[in-house]
Amino acid sequence: MTLAVARTEPISRVRSGHSRRRTPYLLIAPAAGLMVVFLLYPIGSVLYYSLQRYNVTQPWDNAFIGLGNFSTLLFHDPLFWSSLGFTAKWVIVEVGLQLVFGLGLALLVNETFVARGFARALVFSPWAVSGVLTTGIWVLLYNPTTGIFRYLADAGIGHQGTAVLASPGSVFPAVVVTELWRGVPFFAILLLADLQSIPAELYDAASVDGAGRFQRFIYITLPHLRDVVVLATLLRAVWEFNNVDLLYTLTGGGPAQQTMTLPLYVAQKAVDAHDFGYGSALTVVGFVVLLFFSILYLRVSRFGRDLGGDST
């Protein structure tokens, strides 16, 4: 028995004519309309300011400087490169771990056990918590006076004064764990929903053919999850790249700029230092980097091939 990948393109044209040709465009019109109205101008604005020297608190200095910001950024700013490198490390580690844990969690809560609904709600609840609150609670958790390490030390495990966010060796794992806490539910929810679309008889048939549980996972589950996994990891990677609230509050990019991501650097430059021109240039570079890697990622995961409408 061959396992066919579901066809997505209709074989027979039940309808024909103008209405079908226009239909997809009508269907995407609301989304496209929103993007045009609300995003064209802001994105254009960022591009425009990246070519200016623009500081709201020093308006006498504002001027058009062409690619000046970009040359400073690329050749005279070591923090740009170090933050870009750290951002890559941060994104890869976070998305990788979140995917693995999320998939594991989805598989677990898909099983049957007592109080399953309750467990699911709890497992997904970090997703429901606001960023302000998440960072606030984890600040308290990691603080040597109010946090978990103090009580562990009181109980005899570890020693007092453990400050994971302050030590260059432990700060990366500490922030990774916090973001993991928050991000795993994203994958867990999505993959749990995706697992539902796998027809049960595929498993039955494979088992009849002699496939063990691991093989069923590799040959049935994973391929079915592939589309959503590819998209979700890409979207999550972009989100992790750009989202700085956690790092901003937990470490401020420190200690000594060790946990500085590129968007955090942008936030500092554009908001704290009011240097909007340079911040815009950094944003443009971030945009180009993300665009490049998105296209690359989609190509490599051979997503484009399926988009063409072929079926195997």
CA R_g for the chain? 24
Kindly identify the residues of this chain, within the stretch 36-95, that bind other proteins according to CB under 8 A. 36-39, 41-43, 45-46, 55-60
Of 63-71, 86-94, 146-154, which part binds other proteins (CB under 8 A)? 146-154
Binding residue for other proteins (CB under 8 A) from 78, 114, 156, 214?
114
- Binding-residue pattern over the window 261 to 280 for other proteins, x denoting contact by CB under 8 A: --x--xxxxxxxxxx---xx
User: Is 203 one of the binding residues for other proteins (CB under 8 A)?
Assistant: yes
Contacts of residue 134, defined as CB under 8 A and 6 or more positions apart, other chains included, come to 126, 178, 181, 182, 246
1-40: which residues touch other proteins (CB under 8 A)? 2-4, 6-12, 14-15, 21-39
Which residue, among 8, 104, 69, has the nearest Cα to 281 in the 3D structure? 69
Of residues 302, 307, 173, 297, the one with CA closest to residue 236: 297
SS3 215: helix
305 touching other proteins, by CB under 8 A:
no
Residue 264 structure tokens: 């955090």
Helix, strand, or coil (residue 63): strand
Tell me, residue by residue from 151 to 170, as one string, x for binding to other proteins by CB under 8 A and - for no binding: x-x------xxxx-xxxx--
Tokens of 218: 């590799």
In terms of CB distance, is 68 or 144 closer to other proteins? 144
Contact window for other proteins (CB under 8 A) among 63-71, 87-95, 260-268: 260-268
Maximum distance among all alpha carbons in the chain? 78
Among 74, 92, 100, 127, binds other proteins (CB under 8 A): 127
